[in-house]
Chain A
Amino acid sequence: MAQANPSIPLGGGVEEVKKKSKIDSNNTLVRVAKYTGLRIITLGITVIIGIYLTILIANMGGYVDEIRRAQIREDVGARVAGNPTMRNLPAEVKRQKIAEMVAIEEKRYGMDQPFITRSARYLGNAIQLNLGYALKMNSNSGSKLVRNILLERLPPTLLLFATADIILFFISLFFALALSRQYGSFFDKVLITLTPLSSAPGWFYGIFLILIFASMLKVLPFGGMVDAPPPKTPFLYFLSLMKHMILPVLSLAISQIFIQVFSWRTFFLIYSSEDYVDMAKAKGLTSRDIERRYILRPTLPTIITSFALLIIGIWTGGPILETIFNWPGLGRTFYQAIGQFDTPVIIGEAVIFSYLLAVTVFLLDIIYAIVDPRVKIGGESSSI
């Protein structure tokens, strides 16, 4: 959210695109494959650093260890109190017994090792999302494994945000092109006036939309993913899902579309003042062709870069949007985990969000490589 920076994309781009080079289309596949491999490696390293940082923060000063120790002690105490043979032992013996059991338990969790080795172990586990058991939460299927809880909530999140991103991309592109054609018109001015609306995040508009459409007009649901009880037939299920997705998607759209259309429109305007566009016009090409070949094509890499930043911003705000709309995804689980102070789930959430960000960047990188023929392997021009 705080990272979404409206004027970033204006930095480079213009000069870069001018030097067009011809590359064989057969070559594209090899190029993209090489590029992809390299990106996987760099992003992999990035994700590992990210996850390690997450662990460091979660365990700065051994705080999480402390929680774990306290929990072990409590568990052992409860076990001793619940065990009739132990309960009746003399106090001194009992205390000793408890200390022994605590030591064994701590060893079992690897708490006797120094932090560096421990954190390396945590890292290995965290990368596989192998974060043990949740303290309080459990998945719908009843599992208490953090991995199961998180993987179960992943599809709804992907569904919601992928839909929103795709819709946002095409609508923004359409309006940006349309407005760049009629620069200075009434609608253009309206857009410029509305751009500041993008300073508020999606969840904020979500509250207003719920207020208007769910609470006052009562036409759309307050939240959730499907009606309760879920409809029987797949078709009705799909319809109900659509109905529940309208408001979250709309609130994301309202919060992002104006700034997106504005900045893309500005790109298009910059590019349409290039000499080669004038040349194309002089040749008498239709405006449709000019737009497609001479404006859209060279701007696509820049547009994808700015879109990547947008998606990263949207991911960042995800937990709150899901919470507001009661969407049963990762974000709402995060919120619940915070409320219940379920440490393993909180750390798992941070890890899975690192993955999501990396995968997003990776996917967009591939698209970038496909649309931008200048991508050099390992060169400076990697998009993000």
Chain B
Amino acid sequence: MKSLEKNFQELLKYPSAVVGLILVLVLVAISIYAMVTIPYNEAIILWRGGEDQWYRNPKYALPKWVNYFRKDKLPESIALSTIDHPEYKTVETNEDGSAIITIEIPFEYNYEILPVDLMIRFTSNFQEKAPFISVSWIRPDGEKIRIKNLSISPKQDYRVSQDKDLQKKLGGNKIEVGLFTDYKNDPKTIEKGKYTLKIEGATFEKDSDFDAEFIAYGKVAGLGGTDHLRRDLIVALLWGAPIALAFGLLAAVGTTLTQMIIAAFGTWFGGWVDILIQRITEINLVLPFLPILIMIGTFYSRSIWVILTAVIILNIFGTGIKTFRAVFMQTKETPYIEAARAYGASNTRIIFSYMVPRILPMLIPQFIILIPSYVFLEASLAVLGLGDPTLPTWGKVIDEARANGALFQGWYYWVIEPSILLMLTGLAFAMLGFSLDRIFNPRLREM
């Protein structure tokens, strides 16, 4: 215990170790935060739940915090629904059960930049005769623009920005330009202030009703931005941390422990056991590691647990055995092992109680240095399209970004955010591991 404390004290003398340690702690904190605030099931729904989960987000939107670094603020999305705000809606019921429903959705628009897209989502219930509505737009100066008259189905998305008739009416301008600017003059400046979307409708049956949701898609959304499916990337960015840490940690523990035990047995028993282990290690080295993983991923299962098991099995006879063997060879000859042998200690006792503890100081840095390579391995598989289909991981975000041309289109946030998190994870463990290596293995410390 005391030596542990001493080692820790020494660790604090290395700046890179301190930075690494802090980063690791931050990553652990992010993981815990992710698991507490977005429980697993919720995360899966948020990530794979389908359009209904995401339709309020714009596509390819930058994260919100970019506005802190910009002079001209990018607009956020506006989503206002009569379900959330019943006060927008007034209903006048007639005696025969039909009704006149007036919806007025007011909103402030004070950005210098236009929204990307406008949409109204109608939901209605009726037996036979659909409600008939007319949509109009009232500008801050009071000018009213008729947008469209239509009869609506139970669930209908009216994409205002794609309405060709409206575009003609607005002098051929883009819809957003026509609605938000003084488009008849040049230069077209955005009119700031209070806009109102007015929907007047008639229902023709008893208990028939409709609701409307107005969405003006902005250019920023969420803390992580959004992807091609309008998903908020923050879910994957947060949840990527526990997944990456768990995978890296488990794979590193699994491989180093098995390698060490095998090396211990090999050196202790020597002879053909040792030779056999050496030969298997050599064969294992030439086995195509990634192609075999790829085959397992394509032919059997992409589940992260299957891949993890395969990684550990393929690395049981990894190159680490050679390193451990070299140390065990020296340990085997030490007097205390001879003493143990003299009093008749069993083989397993010597291996597990005397030889293995001796190598632990070497094992710990080894294993911490290994973690990043497994974290990146998981990401690599995801980039090849072999990531776990259910889990949101950093590698999959990078893969989707790449596949959707984020680098060509300039959606850099989409690639950079997961990459930086991956990089930080890699750096954190590598820095910590290299420093530990220098503390525990004094031969290196002199260097």
Contacts and interface: CB of A to CB of B under 8 A. Distances in A.
Contacts of B20: 196
B328 to A, nearest CB: 11
Which of B20, B282, B434 has the largest count of A CB atoms less than 10 A from its CB? B434
B408 interface: yes
Nearest to A312: B285
Contacts of B290: 1, 316-319, 353
Interface in A277-325: 309, 312, 315-320, 323-324
B402 A324 contact: yes
Interface in B112-169: none
A107 B416 CA distance: 53
Contacts of A42: 282
B295 A57 contact: yes
Interface in B170-217: none
Contacts of A11: 322-323, 325-327
Nearest to B20: A196
B288 A50 contact: yes
A159 interface: no
Contact of B427 (A199, A210, A350): A199
A301 B434 CA distance: 24
B380 A357 contact: no
Contact of B295 (A6, A58, A324, A361): A58
Given A203-B383, A266-B447, A338-B294, A3 B430 contact: no
Give the secondary structure class of B's interface: helix
A130 interface: no
Given A11-B326, A269-B447, A350-B291, A5 B320 contact: yes
Q: Which of B291, B408, B426, B441 has the most CB of A within 10 A?
A: B291
A192 B431 CA distance: 10
Interface string B349-387: 000000000000000011001101110110110011110
A177 B20 CA distance: 28
Interface in A55-71: 57-58, 60, 63-64
A357 B385 contact: no
Contacts of A269: 447
Contacts of B427: 196-197, 199
Interface stretch (A88-96, A165-173, A339-347): A339-347
A262 B40 CA distance: 42
Given A203-B380, A324-B402, A350-B295, A3 B315 contact: yes
Contacts of B365: 7
A204 B376 contact: yes
With most chain A CB atoms within 10 A of its CB, the pick from B323, B412, B443 is: B323
Nearest to A215: B407
B295 A347 contact: yes
A357 B322 CA distance: 19
Contact of A198 (B288, B298, B315, B430): B430
Contact of A357 (B16, B288, B408, B426): B288
Contacts of A265: 447
Given A5-B323, A11-B326, A12-B326, A354 B287 contact: yes
A138 interface: no
B431 A196 contact: yes
A46 B282 contact: yes
Interface string A1-27: 111111110111000000000000000
B239 interface: no
A204 B402 contact: no
A308 to B, nearest CB: 9
- Which one of A64, A199, A317, A346 has the greatest number of beta carbons of chain B within 10 Å? A199
Instruction: Summarize A's interface: helix, strand, loop or mixed.
Output: helix
B385 A335 contact: yes
Given A2-B373, A196-B427, A210-B407, A54 B383 contact: no
A138 to B, nearest CB: 19
A341 B407 contact: no
Given A46-B283, A50-B286, A196-B434, A2 B311 contact: yes
B59 to A, nearest CB: 19
Q: Which of B320, B384, B441 is packed against the most chain A CB atoms within 10 Å?
A: B384
A41 to B, nearest CB: 13
B263 to A, nearest CB: 11
Given A54-B295, A320-B380, A346-B298, A7 B437 contact: yes
Contacts of A323: 383-384
16 contacts: A1-B373, A2-B318, A10-B444, A50-B286, A57-B292, A57-B295, A64-B299, A193-B16, A199-B376, A215-B410, A316-B288, A317-B290, A319-B290, A338-B294, A358-B286, A384-B282
Given A357-B288, A361-B286, 8 more contacts: A2-B311, A60-B300, A63-B300, A192-B434, A199-B427, A211-B416, A215-B410, A320-B383
Interface of B: 16, 20, 251, 255, 282-283, 285-292, 294-300, 311, 315, 318-320, 322-323, 325-327, 365-366, 369-370, 372-374, 376-377, 379-380, 383-386, 398, 402, 407-408, 410, 412, 415-416, 419, 422-423, 426-427, 429-431, 434, 437, 441, 443-444, 447
Interface of A: 1-8, 10-12, 42-43, 46-47, 49-50, 53-54, 57-58, 60, 63-64, 183, 192-193, 195-201, 203-204, 207-208, 210-211, 214-215, 222, 265-266, 269-270, 309, 312, 315-320, 323-324, 334-335, 338-339, 341, 343, 346-347, 349-350, 353-354, 357-358, 361, 384
The 3 closest A-B pairs by CB, nearest first: A196-B430, A11-B326, A199-B372
